[in-house]
A and B are shown apart, each in its own frame.
Chain A
């Protein structure tokens, strides 16, 4: 009996170690941006351009950056940080654009493309999988928050 319990526990532990890791995202900004840390609430308000349209100390437009297609990192960002569904995010930006001509979020197909864009655009604010945070990426962008 003891042996079978041990075997079952061993199988469970082994299977667990092969289960995909829960996604984790890094919120990134341009290196020039003086912001060092942001809370999830601040990221939400900046990304949705709710409290400010420009970074206060950088004097550049806030440019929210998004993934082009649905993926686990985007789901995590929408659910945990924004508290909104994908359709609600689209509707939100459509409404802002319709009301005042405000530009919606920029969308990119991969983390690499997001890192390159954020590295180029001083006002950009995006999210990438923490698995994409390599030494090369760290040299290009600044991480201001990790969300699990």
Chain B
């Protein structure tokens, strides 16, 4: 019986291999272990409100060192026939004794013409440049972490970087190499697990051009709704105060030509939360990345990110952050490319976050003055990113 099972397993593996070869299946693993040392200085860190309505704050400075195994990503693509290809990407993460397994992408692409293809399944939202280019394939990503402006919810940001739905797309249109993507998906807060109770569909549109090799200019927009009672994307608000519309517009310019020494990515994000009765609120972010290939292997780079949640230091955004926040993040680093499958990155990052707490008033009486809570974090980080 045992022998029979062994023969069956061997036959099964052999068959699968044959099918995989026939379908031109490629299997890859991405890994990115990391070590980080951070010195954190918190001035007027908000810890609560006492019974008399006064803010409670504290000042602290501490340092920490972490070895982080990062995500391990299993990435499989297969060309089923001339026109149909499939892609799956699953990630395994271990943090605080909890292992997380997540299907990041699972999609099928039907190629009709250069200017028209259809993708169905779970995929990266076509918002901005960075989001579709790098995400979990960190061996391809020029920095260790994403810019704060486009960091996903899982990394403390606000972007839902993937969605389940249907996407129409095309590229290489005219000599300007125009391209477009239109995604009809479940929208923010839904992950395609049959958890939506109505017919609402979020729309994300991206149009752009690649007039010269490696230079991409694109504009993207995501149009979704805000649902009363539902939590916001980063979980900082457990129940949103009103229904409304959400709009995220992104303008991007990228020059990433592997044959050239200079590389650049810049993106500007403008988010509008339009509540039916509460009002309209705006948040803005931008980042600029630049690198210069000194030799075939060594590329020093710099990244600056600015994020403002809320229109000013006195008006927040009930959707993203009711307390106005300003984040300035400067990163300088160097990338050493051993080869296309193994890259080491070393970074120094200065992160300056300011939270603007407003006066506490009750019945027209001011109980406490507002204050600014500042957190300065200086980190040294090293990442080994590989694919095999």
Q: Does B68 lie at the interface of the complex (its beta carbon under 8 Å from any beta carbon of A)?
A: no
Q: Does B339 lie at the interface of the complex (its beta carbon under 8 Å from any beta carbon of A)?
A: yes
- A51-96: which residues lie under 8 A (CB-CB) from chain B? 51-54, 60-61, 82-92, 94-95
Q: What are the residues of chain B within 8 A of A88 when measuring CB–CB?
A: 258-259, 340
| Cα–Cα, bound, A50→B114 (Å) | 10
In the complex, the answer to whether B85 meets A101 with C-beta atoms within 8 Å is: yes
State which of A52, A54, A84, A104 has its C-beta within 8 Å of the C-beta of B26.
A104
Q: Does B280 lie at the interface of the complex (its beta carbon under 8 Å from any beta carbon of A)?
A: no
State which of A54, A84, A104 has its C-beta within 8 Å of the C-beta of B258.
A84
Q: What are the residues of chain B within 8 A of A92 when measuring CB–CB?
A: 258
With known contacts A90-B340, A91-B140, A94-B137, A99–B258 Cβ distance under 8 A: no
Within the complex, the shortest CB–CB distance from B261 to chain A, in Å, comes to 11
Interchain Cβ contacts within 8 Å, total number: 68
Q: What are the residues of chain A within 8 A of B24 when measuring CB–CB?
A: 103
In the complex, the answer to whether B340 meets A97 with C-beta atoms within 8 Å is: no
| Cα–Cα, bound, A83→B111 (Å) | 29
Q: Does B303 lie at the interface of the complex (its beta carbon under 8 Å from any beta carbon of A)?
A: no
Which residue of chain A lies nearest to B87 when distances are taken between CB atoms in the complex? A101
In the complex, the answer to whether B259 meets A53 with C-beta atoms within 8 Å is: no
Q: Does A100 lie at the interface of the complex (its beta carbon under 8 Å from any beta carbon of B)?
A: yes
In the complex, the answer to whether B86 meets A52 with C-beta atoms within 8 Å is: no
Within the complex, the shortest CB–CB distance from B230 to chain A, in Å, comes to 31
Within the complex, the shortest CB–CB distance from B345 to chain A, in Å, comes to 14
Q: What are the residues of chain A within 8 A of B258 when measuring CB–CB?
A: 84-85, 88-89, 91-92
In the complex, the answer to whether B82 meets A103 with C-beta atoms within 8 Å is: no
Within the complex, the shortest CB–CB distance from A54 to chain B, in Å, comes to 7
Q: What are the residues of chain A within 8 A of B139 when measuring CB–CB?
A: 94
In the complex, the answer to whether B339 meets A98 with C-beta atoms within 8 Å is: no
Q: Does A120 lie at the interface of the complex (its beta carbon under 8 Å from any beta carbon of B)?
A: no
Q: Does A102 lie at the interface of the complex (its beta carbon under 8 Å from any beta carbon of B)?
A: yes
In the complex, the answer to whether B296 meets A53 with C-beta atoms within 8 Å is: no
| Cα–Cα, bound, A90→B28 (Å) | 14
Which residue of chain A lies nearest to B25 when distances are taken between CB atoms in the complex? A103
Q: What are the residues of chain B within 8 A of A91 when measuring CB–CB?
A: 140, 258, 340
- A9-54: which residues lie under 8 A (CB-CB) from chain B? 50-54
Q: Does B387 lie at the interface of the complex (its beta carbon under 8 Å from any beta carbon of A)?
A: yes
| Cα–Cα, bound, A100→B126 (Å) | 12
| Cα–Cα, bound, A54→B140 (Å) | 26
| Cα–Cα, bound, A60→B140 (Å) | 29
In the complex, the answer to whether A98 meets B341 with C-beta atoms within 8 Å is: no
| Cα–Cα, bound, A113→B107 (Å) | 33
Q: What are the residues of chain A within 8 A of B114 when measuring CB–CB?
A: 52-54
Within the complex, the shortest CB–CB distance from B372 to chain A, in Å, comes to 41
Q: What are the residues of chain A within 8 A of B213 when measuring CB–CB?
A: 50
In the complex, the answer to whether B77 meets A101 with C-beta atoms within 8 Å is: yes
In the complex, the answer to whether A87 meets B340 with C-beta atoms within 8 Å is: yes
- B83-136: which residues lie under 8 A (CB-CB) from chain A? 85-87, 107, 109, 111, 114, 132-133
Given contacts A52-B172, A95-B133, A100-B87, 18 further A-B contacts (CB under 8 A): A50-B213, A53-B172, A85-B258, A87-B296, A87-B339, A88-B258, A88-B259, A90-B339, A91-B258, A94-B137, A95-B140, A98-B133, A99-B132, A101-B86, A101-B107, A103-B24, A103-B26, A104-B26
10 tightest A-B contacts by CB? A101-B87, A90-B340, A88-B258, A101-B77, A98-B137, A87-B340, A91-B340, A84-B259, A101-B85, A103-B79
What are 27 contact pairs spanning A and B, CB under 8 A? A50-B177, A51-B172, A54-B114, A60-B82, A83-B259, A84-B258, A85-B296, A86-B340, A87-B339, A87-B340, A88-B258, A89-B258, A90-B340, A90-B341, A91-B140, A91-B258, A91-B340, A92-B258, A94-B137, A94-B140, A95-B137, A97-B28, A97-B77, A98-B133, A99-B132, A101-B85, A101-B86
